[in-house]
Structure 1
């Protein structure tokens, strides 16, 4: 479906509602109520993600977006990963194994590991095995209070993995409620949240619990790397089974906060790396992540506060079984890899083919302390120290059900006992110069026992010209350390790789009145020392370099009594410097349009349009270019159904069933990866009074 047709449908709805407006008798009161609601929303929308001090999102340095859980539910958004696709300059996609990827300003598709710092209730969740935080990405939004998104480099404040941005997911910690949700492809889930406070108010207990799973769409894969050889299951149905479970328990008492957070993600092999899995399902993959943290804050003086944290993380990743070589294929070398030199031995494959599976376990423990001091007039200082140690506590590789140990050049596994120590320090100053100008300067230092040290600075300014016009500017740097998966995947296990680095300059203008907000941001970014996947015994090397220039425009308007229309449009020119060609999988244009409002006191309509522009394939022709696509989704909500606090929501995703494709790993699926199409959903939730 074309962008023009999809946009026409959505804007026809909006224009009709604008023409209809509110009932004439109630118009003045309704308009006043809408203006007051908009003002209160602006004043209440505060975040700590950009400075670690609570500030209005417009006034913080950098670009911050806050997504609210209830709005996401009404729009039919199922998971945190899907919600991030609403943010300007953000594209969501998947890789060959169906892992949810987030491309922020085009950064992510070319990176082997995570490009975002992901936090759950302000606790970091990235793991040192592969850099991802998949359990958080698949967290149901029915459990979410809000999602805070910081676009741009964040290492000056958050250190490792805050490369292209920072995401903090805050779950529901007040009230009580339950929900049930059903989606297409036999997907179903449910959960609940609860909180309790003692009569004195000193003790608070809260918890969130959810579980969902689906059998998958089983859409057709298209040809894989082996199809032309005659030894392949492709084309055929993919195995996109998946599910997620979350259990969060917290307690707060006299300034202490004890928090236990557990996520479990299940997923099939989807397309597989270069060969489609057989029709009979193989073993599903399971990723588990448990974090236990203890926070305590002290008011040491009127102008001096200390915040401390102790934490321990346990992460395990059992990959799904993956077909390395289909039955009957004569060698262990897929067609996508170069043949051995003449005269070199050719490794033969068993007649039944090769199915492999990897398992890894990681433990990480650490301590953090931060001191905030505002005793110097017009200044607020932040000093932070941190220590962490990560260790691979288990690792195995199996072929055709038999575990192979010890590791060798062919299996290239993670050695048990591999460890990493990290010492970090942060200094930041927020300097208010008069009533309208604020400068923020900071620097972060990280020293790794295995990959050396990194220094990342930031300098930002926010100028409030008046109550309507704001200007922002920022220069910032970021880094991402090599993960264990990159350091130990090759014949020279433990080889030295340099951290990836990023330098960014951005300028932003914000205009806002009671019912309208507009923001325009332009940026220039240089990415260097990208860890690239290459053929040969050493699978990863520091080779990549990317130059990016772009702009992001955001607009939101409230009208009538309870209606809101929003849109964002982003442009990105991303060039791979070694080849001079566009970066593979990076969309030049992205757009979102959202419409939310009350049709009646009990009914709410939500509509959204998402457009992803044309994307280049991999340089060198390893995959075909990807066409643009536009999806339109609708949702309806019926409030106080069955009982006060009961809400029925239902809708359809990708209403016109436009074809959505994701970029395949180079030289695997040359026609790329077709994603599931149109689907329906139904949800009932009950907030206990």
Structure 2
């Protein structure tokens, strides 16, 4: 195999691993806050506990991505921003708009719970999980990432972690923003938004439209497929409205809609067809926050999420709808916080291709939580029982404790259980088995963090064991399937996700250095094989500098080799990507940004036979009058 250049890049993380605790004491959780700095203690996080808590009181392993970081990302997808976050890897079948997966700590993409403004999005198709390709990056103000199981808070899906996306909340005077981006592959995007507040009413609106000619995502497939460039068209809109009824009561509504039409190359004959998939995403949310006494508060939230996909050639449609209602109660007693949650969720799935599927299911969850933070101690306890209409009751729990050894050093430990129910497609499609069981996980982790002045360092070691892992059987292994020729889904595997994540940051004068390193071993313990499309080592190293009115940044993304198949027979070589960014204020109202991705024009794949983007330059101009 002629992979020597890739092999040399693949071993770089080993050298980083050996020197990281010392040489990279100056680096940070990638993209946490402004692309590197760990969130400050006074900053609030919602996702870890579903309650607004100071980051310093959150025991979980978290990262916060702010709007400045998102703006500097260029014309990319949400997954590309997450790829720089510690513990996260992504896969994509080619360019933006195509099938995308996000893996936290080596877990499957379906093992990450995803919410937009509190609205759950998921898919009941194939292996499940959020439709990442349809989430519009331009509409996002903030992203919160929690690494580690949180089923005791969110129920099914949160086996490896949670990603929650927030759109902008209006405040202050009327503030319009117009942003234009143009770049490689004839990529262009126009974003228009406005936000503000009037008396007790606040508002935020945004629309976005873009397209790209793309590139040939399968240039080396035999037999040769459609050699055209595979581009995309995207349009989205969102609104977030709030009304402060009085000092103790607030009502808020939000809506987001997105449509992406992406070209791709597929294997069914004829191979020259222009295959295209239209992905639509819609989220609707309404919530009422009330503070009834100094100690007691509630939240009532109604939400509805729709994930719809349509194949343009054969007109087949798959659609998942999730409707839920949440009643959350919190009671404070001094430094103690008690919570009780009642949540009802209903999933509906429709598939028009033969054999047709039109099924639904529901879950009712009851959760209790306890949090205490005082002096050097922080405690977080949660327990939840979910009653699934298909699988009956399931109880999950978590316990976490952190102790500040000194004002700068903090140690933590946690344990938790999790689960994920099979999708309706996995049970009732032509590949389905109705008797599948839920996947079940058990996680333990320990952490050490240091923060003093501009110096930050963290290390987290974890082990997450899953039983009844769902896999797809084909060929000789499909002998026990209902239709062996089709193959089928089965609970045949056990998985173990274990690893260590290092993060660090330092500011040296005008320079801010940051980086992260993951050393992991995601494997199928039944077959004793490395899980497909996940590297044993991946890292990010970067630097930002303020110079003559410019904000300049550079980062390097490194990944060791991975296997494209569960049998570990096909190797995806390791790679290293070098990226640059620059931004400056042209005047008080105008801002210029530029992003150069994959400087060395590296050819690489995150999914077998699907090429990723080569060197690409994007420039942007933003008008935001003060």
TM-score w.r.t. length of structure 2: 0.86
1:79 shift after superposition? 2.6
Candidates 224, 237, 243, aligned match of 1:247: 237
Let me know the Cα RMSD of the aligned residues: 2.6
Give 1:646 deviation, angstroms.
1.1
Partner of 1:625: 571
Give per-residue Cα distances to partners, 1:333-355, cap 9 Å, x unaligned: xxxxxxxxxxxxxxxxxxxxxxx
Distance 2:430 2:9 in 1: 48
- Residue in structure 2 matched with residue 330 of structure 1 by the alignment: none
**Partners of 2:39 and 2:63 within 8 A in 1:** no
Asked if the contact 1:633–1:654 (Cα under 8 Å) also holds between the matched residues in 2, the reply is yes
Deviations 1:525-576 (A, max 9, x none): 1121111111242621111211222101001111214x31101011011221
User: Could you say what secondary structure the match of 2:241 adopts?
Assistant: strand
Q: State the shift of 1:235 in Å.
A: 5.2
Post-superposition shift, 1:241? Answer: 2.2
Report how far residue 7 of structure 1 moved: 8.4
Q: 2:344 aligned with 1:395, yes or no?
A: no
Deviation sequence 1:308-346 (CA, Å, 0-9, x none): 01223344221354xxxxxxxxxxxxxxxxxxxxxxxxx
Corresponding residue for residue 154 of structure 2: 158
Worse overlay, 295-304 or 175-184: 175-184
3-state SS of 2:343 partner: strand
Q: Is the 8 A contact 1:39 1:514 kept in 2?
A: no
Greater fraction of residues in strand: 2
Q: Could you tell me which residue of structure 1 aligns to residue 548 of structure 2? A: 600
Aligned counterpart in structure 1 of residue 421 of structure 2, from 481, 487, 500: 481
User: In 2 relative to 1, CA 235–310 (structure 1 residues): closer, same or farther, beyond 3 Å?
Assistant: closer
Gaps of 5+ in 2: 17-35, 475-480
Q: How far has the Cα of 1:512 moved from its partner?
A: 0.8
2:100 maps to which residue? 100
Asked if 1:412 corresponds to 2:368, the answer is no
For 1:139-158, what aligned pairs fall within 5 Å after superposition? Answer: 139-140=136-137, 142-158=138-154
Aligned length: 578
**SS in structure 2 opposite 1:215?**
strand
User: With CA pairs under 8 Å and 6+ residues apart, which has the higher RCO, 1 or 2?
Assistant: 2
Report SS of the residue matched to 1:66.
Answer: strand
Which of the two has higher C-alpha Rg?
1
The match for 2:27 is none
Conserved? CA contact 1:6–1:630, under 8 Å: no
Aligned equivalent of 2:257: 262
TM-aligned CA distance change 1:497 to 1:320, over 3 Å: farther
Picking from 367, 382, 388, the partner of 1:426 is 367
C-alpha distance in 2, partners of 1:547/1:40? 28
- Where 2:352 maps in the other structure, the secondary structure is strand
2:28 maps to: none
Residues 624-633 or 50-59, more deviating: 50-59
Equivalent residues in 2 for 1:11-90, closer than 5 Å: 42-76=40-74, 78-90=76-88
Confirm or deny: 8 A CA contact 2:134 2:260 kept in the other structure.
no
CA distance in 1, matches of 2:407, 2:229: 54
Change (3 A) 1:456 1:243: farther
Indicate the SS of the match to 1:241.
Answer: strand
Counterpart check, 1:636 vs 2:585: no
Q: Does the 8 A contact of 2:440 with 2:466 survive in 1?
A: yes
Offset of residue 68 of structure 1: 1.5
What's 1:523 paired with? Answer: 462
Instruction: State the alpha-carbon separation in 2 of the partners of residues 78 and 663 from structure 1.
Output: 18
- Hey, what's the Cα distance between the residues in 2 that align with 1:116 and 1:143? 21
C-alpha contact 1:511 1:518 (8 A) present in aligned 2: yes
Question: Does 2:604 match 1:611?
Answer: no
Cα distance, 1:483 vs structure 2? 1.3
Say if 1:662 and 1:516 are closer, same or farther in 2 by CA, change over 3 A.
same
Q: Per the alignment, in what secondary structure is the counterpart of residue 86 of structure 1?
A: coil
Deviations 1:477-498 (A, max 9, x none): 111111122122226x671321
Is this contact kept in 1: 2:217–2:610, CA < 8 A? no
Say if 1:653 and 1:488 are closer, same or farther in 2 by CA, change over 3 A. same
1:421–1:235 Cα change, 3 Å:
closer
